[in-house]
């Protein structure tokens, strides 16, 4: 594939495109399940996080959430870091979503955002 220095010259969008092509290839070759399991056991192994970490993480608290197009985990919407906590309000208190029980996390997952004008 590409040399690491050349990869770091890419923008986040260009890198994602590269990753999506790679993911498609891996699915075709039947290797994706194994890669997905590997990432699930440690989300920091996801190439999108590795790229973000090398580019520099923003380490900020930002509004909104985003999901990685490659592994599906929650990521920082700004720098694409996978080492982040999602904080949400439940019955008046702010809590880290990953500490919630499974059904409650699913409920968070199923929520939709609406804009009110």
Residue numbers of the site for Zn ion (CB under 5 A)?
Answer: 46, 48, 58, 68, 70-71, 76, 78-79, 81
Residue 2 or 59 having the CB closest to Zn ion:
59
Angle, vertex CA 88, rays to CA 43 and CA 82, nearest 5: 15
Residue 77 or 95 having the CB closest to Zn ion:
77
- Shortest Cβ distance from residue 117 to Zn ion (Å)? 29
- Shortest Cβ distance from residue 77 to Zn ion (Å)? 7
Terminal-residue alpha carbon distance, the chain: 47
- Shortest Cβ distance from residue 28 to Zn ion (Å)? 20
Residue 67 or 90 having the CB closest to Zn ion:
67
- Shortest Cβ distance from residue 91 to Zn ion (Å)? 28
Residue 35 or 46 having the CB closest to Zn ion:
46
DSSP 10-78: S-HHHHHHHHHHHHHHHHHTT-HHHHHHHHHH-GGGSHHHHHHHHH-------SS-EE-TTT--EE-TT
């Amino acid at each position: 594939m590409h040399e690491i220095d050349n990869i770091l010259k890419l923008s986040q969008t260009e890198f994602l495109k590269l990753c999506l092509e790679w993911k498609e290839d891996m699915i075709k070759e039947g290797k994706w399940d194994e890669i997905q399991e590997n990432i699930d056991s440690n989300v920091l192994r996801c190439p999108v996080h590795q790229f973000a970490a090398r580019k520099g993480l923003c380490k900020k608290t930002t509004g909104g959430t985003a999901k990685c197009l490659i592994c599906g985990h929650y990521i920082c919407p700004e720098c694409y870091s996978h080492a982040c906590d999602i904080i949400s309000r439940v019955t008046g208190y702010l809590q880290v979503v990953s500490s919630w029980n499974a059904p409650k996390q699913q409920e968070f997952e199923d929520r939709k955002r609406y804009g009110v004008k």
